[in-house]
Chain A
Amino acid sequence: MRKMRLTGIAAVAVAAMIAVPASADFNSDWKALIAAAQKEGKVVLAAGPGTGMRRTMPEFFEKKFGVKLQVVVTPSRQTAQRAIREAAVGAQTIDVFSTGQSTLIRVLYPKGLLAPIKPLLIHPDVINNKAAWMKGEPWFLDDKKEYMFRAVDLVIPMAFVNTKHVDPNGFNHTNDFLDPKYKGKIVVYDPTRPGPGSNAISYYMKFLGEKYVIDLIKGQKAKLTRSRRQLVDWLAQGRYPIAFAASINEIARLRREGFKIAAVQPKNVISYDAPGSGVITLLNNAPHPKAAQLFLNWIMTKEGMKMYQDLEGMPVTRVDVGRDGLMVPETVPKPGVKYFDTASYDYVVGESGKLFGKLKRLLKR
């Protein structure tokens, strides 16, 4: 089964290579890069919980380039702290870090711990293929547009509901969540911790006000949890049939297992989009710079992005990979629709932090 999948992906790769002709210069540069990467032997990629990148990708990458891809799965905050500690003494062990925007923009970037990626991109399928990208080029989140590659653009529905217990059509307005019949039926990923919960609830506080958030969380006696898995288990069991800030991979898994889970988005508030943990960065003084450069170029090709989308189950910012196989298609941005970008640099460095601080005080427990 896995061999079949690898063969399929390889076929896509060949097609991608054909689509954008490579120059003689590129070919020699590419070969030289591969040779240098092989000399370094490996590239270390740190990714947060829920990543699917440890499956298939290391084997595929090594087979293709003869370079090991080591994927370390730890909570992003721990990886960030590790990066800070190691950089302080010049003993870096991580090359590439895939995570959410907040820690990167608020901590690692201002501390100068990230290296620019854009100047390292040499693959024609990445830099010369404007039609492939949602924004006409690889999407960078930072103010200089070269450090934080946004691999994912997800539209996040306000909530997911278990249709066995709750009618998904009953949420035309955000106040519908405040109906007393839903008291004790709502679970939220803890918004007092940095992460998807705080991202979501801060956003709703911005547009719907503090009172709405208090009514929703405290008034409705919403259950707060810090476990992605527990949140969706409760949703699936129907113990809490309405879930805010559920992990998209977990929702995808529930659907694969046959649970009837629907996304609900009231019409009185615009949806927001976010990269999830799909912001890819290169750490400064990476221990394997050439292997990291090779990985970054490859992951942004059609082949790399397709594999990333398949493994992570989230829509990537490269549109030519198609959207087949996504179990939560509601998260795919619709062309022409305007979303509020909670990962934009200005929002994260400005208002988002203040909203989060206010949220923590409001919900202190």
Chain B
Amino acid sequence: MAISLRALRSGVTGNGLFNKRNVLSLILILALGSVTVVPVLFLVISSFNVADPGQATTFGLGNWIEAFDDSRILDAIWTTFSLVAARLSIGVLAGILFAWLIARTDMPGGTTFEFLFWIAFFSPALPLTLGWILLLDPENGVINSLFGSHFDIFTFWGIVWVHLTATTIPVAVILFTPAFRQMSAVLEDSARMCGASALGTLRRITVPLLIPAILPATAIMLIRSLEAFEIELLLGSPVGIFVYSTRIYDLIDEVPAEYGMATALGTLFLFAVFVMAALYALCVRGRRFTTVTGQGYSTERIKLGRWRWPAFALCTIYLSVSFGLGMVFLFLSSFMRRFGFFDIKDPFTLEHWRVLFDDPILLSSLWNSLLLGACTAVAGVILFSLVAYVVVRSRITGKGVIDILAWLPWAIPGVLMGLALVWLYLETPLRVVFYGTIAGLVVAMLIKELPVGVQLLKAGFIRLGDELEEAARVCGASWSMTYVKVILPLVAPVLATVAVLSFQAAVRDIASVVFLYDNDSRPLSILMLEYSFSGEMERGAAAGILLVIMITIMAVIARWLGHRSGTSS
């Protein structure tokens, strides 16, 4: 394998069509294609199948006409894009600001803030949303009751607010910070020497240099926003705010399910992904973003001077309000007899925790989640880094195809991807190994996280100069040794980010695994969902806290490993 990859990197070729490079390229394309193209094909073909489920396939345009002829769908699409635009325009700017403060300035407590953003992102959205309802319910919300205010969480801006606090801003900070941190400060130093202010340097030097990192990260947020579901369901549906994903869910929640219409709607993602991929290519084409070279690397931070403590106060206030309050109420809710009811007899109880720990399924669910998260993180780091390396740094034939294939899983909403995999597993001999097993869930999560992992690592690799690798080879190091000892340590913070993101995605995810788990492979997230289904929100909150604890521990370990290897390199 090492020899083969060396061939990839150094461009060693054989003769004719079947030279080593082309064969390896073909293997990679086939392997990646089999896990990414098949679900997309399933989506596209299903959207044209107008036969009832279980009947012989009949092709037609009926699903498309029906789907887009419905004014409710068009309203939902409009609402979705309005929500996405509001969230992203605020979230990306705030994310850039916080990431910059954390990674590029001498603001006190940056590392702690970054860690808190991680935890904010890891916290399951469902119970956090319940926390916000408890606080901002228009009639019984704690804040409205205490201060006589008139906040209403069941509105468009209520949904935007919960998304910003629970997902958009934390994920922006998580995705932007490693890129900010990895960037050499040489150019910023030069800007400052020429008299530019700190904010001017951020706007004119730092942000443009980080475009390859900011664009895919924004794309990740955009896609995640399009398929966002739980918060809209909880806050939007009661007041008639419907989004695209809720409509898709409605269609596949029918019995028999309206797969045709759902998949026709799902193909919108395909267009969105192609547009994003094209925009990304357009933005980075013909530009150089190399900032980590063998010719000197400065990581000196910008001195904020008198703005140090105001910046600290900004982060503290933001995190206390957006994350602290939510967490406090998530924690509180697990001890409430009935969530949100303070005026009943004995409003607080340990009963939910007792019943949770009495549930024999808890231990197996915890174990399943750990196994699922760990396997996804380890396999993800290996797989994603290889794909990203091949795309960015190899001279392999057809690497453009590989790049496109790595984007493809985004083309399908999580719920439909889960369904596609169910069919794939059930209809093939893969069933024995993957249907209802942890291995099946790991594969689902690897596919789902492939675009995130690969784009983040591409952004890391793209900024590495060739000199370090060439120097290692001149010194006699093999490709594999160079890869492990030189390349990977240089992107260690990104690797840690990818590992933790994969871990947390795997242990939190519901949409991709809900059709694939079995009683023996049920993860904690599904147990939490089952409690919610049963109306036992308080017990669900307790399970959610266990999830947060598990992910926090993983985050601490990953950060420690990332920093350690990053420092040692």
Contacts and interface: CB of A to CB of B under 8 A. Distances in A.
A50 B537 CA distance: 12
B253 A78 contact: yes
Interface centre among A59, A74, A111, A239 (most CB of B within 10 A): A74
B256 A84 contact: yes
Contacts of B435: 91
Interface string B535-557: 10100000000000000000000
A75 B240 contact: no
A86 B516 CA distance: 11
A253 B534 CA distance: 12
A224 to B, nearest CB: 8
B243 to A, nearest CB: 14
Nearest to B517: A72
Nearest to A73: B530
Interface in A332-353: none
Contacts of A257: 337-338, 341, 344-345
Nearest to A44: B519
A364 B247 CA distance: 13
A39 interface: no
Interface string B404-436: 000000000000000000110011000100011
Contacts of A364: 72
A227 B426 CA distance: 32
Given A81-B255, A91-B431, A226 B535 contact: no
Nearest to B435: A91
Contacts of A259: 344
A93 B345 contact: no
Interface in A218-237: 223-230, 232-233, 236-237
Interface string B217-261: 000000000000000011001101000000000101111110000
A126 to B, nearest CB: 27
B340 A233 contact: yes
Interface centre among B234, B238, B254, B518 (most CB of A within 10 A): B238
Interface centre among B53, B256, B535 (most CB of A within 10 A): B535
Contacts of B238: 223-225, 227, 230
Given A44-B519, A73-B533, A239-B139, A226 B255 contact: no
Contacts of A81: 252, 255-257
Interface residues of A, number: 55
B535 A107 contact: no
A135 interface: no
B54 interface: yes
Contacts of A250: 535
A74 B522 CA distance: 12
B257 A111 contact: no
A75 B253 contact: yes
A365 B427 contact: no
Q: Is the interface of B mostly helix, strand, loop or mixed?
A: loop
A76 to B, nearest CB: 8
A89 interface: yes
A225 B361 CA distance: 30
B533 A107 contact: no
A50 B234 CA distance: 18
B427 to A, nearest CB: 6
Given A85-B426, A257-B338, A93 B534 contact: no
Contacts of A199: none
Interface string B505-536: 00000000011001100100000001011110
Given A50-B534, A236-B341, A258-B345, A89 B422 contact: no
A51 interface: yes
Interface string A6-44: 000000000000000000000000000000000000001
Contacts of B337: 257
Contacts of A50: 533-535
Nearest to A250: B535
A77 interface: yes
Contacts of A59: 360
Interface in A38-76: 44, 48-51, 54-55, 58-59, 70, 72-75
B197 interface: no
Contact of A89 (B140, B338, B426): B426
Contact of A70 (B237, B423, B519): B519
Nearest to A103: B255
A194 interface: yes
A88 B425 CA distance: 13
A202 interface: no
A155 interface: no
Range class of the B interface residue count = 35 or more
A111 B344 contact: no
Interface in B40-80: 53-54, 72
A227 B254 CA distance: 16
A80 interface: yes
A82 B515 contact: yes
Nearest to A187: B238
Nearest to B431: A91
B530 A74 contact: yes
A78 B514 contact: yes
B542 to A, nearest CB: 15
A247 interface: yes
A249 interface: yes
A103 B341 CA distance: 35
A222 to B, nearest CB: 12
Contacts of B360: 58-59
Contact of A93 (B355, B436, B514, B532): B436
Interface string A100-125: 00010011000100000000000000
B295 to A, nearest CB: 58
Contacts of B522: 72
B535 A239 contact: no
Interface in A242-300: 247, 249-250, 253, 257-259
Interface in B388-407: none
Nearest to A229: B535
Given A81-B255, A223-B238, A233-B340, A73 B426 contact: no
B261 to A, nearest CB: 15
B237 A88 contact: no
A58 B252 CA distance: 31
A117 to B, nearest CB: 21
B340 A75 contact: no
A89 B514 CA distance: 19
B253 A77 contact: yes
B229 to A, nearest CB: 13
Contacts of A223: 238
Contacts of B533: 48-50, 73-75
Contacts of A55: 355
A106 B233 CA distance: 27
Interface in B323-370: 337-341, 344-345, 355, 358-361
22 contacts: A50-B534, A50-B535, A74-B514, A74-B533, A77-B253, A78-B514, A81-B257, A82-B515, A84-B54, A85-B422, A86-B426, A88-B426, A93-B436, A93-B518, A227-B234, A228-B535, A233-B338, A233-B340, A237-B139, A237-B341, A258-B344, A365-B240
**Top 8 A-B residue pairs of the complex, sorted by shortest distance between their CB atoms:** A49-B533, A229-B535, A73-B530, A70-B519, A89-B426, A80-B255, A77-B255, A103-B255
Given A2-B358, A74-B533, A236-B338, 16 more contacts: A49-B533, A72-B522, A73-B534, A77-B253, A80-B255, A81-B256, A84-B53, A91-B431, A91-B435, A93-B436, A106-B255, A107-B256, A193-B250, A227-B238, A233-B338, A239-B140
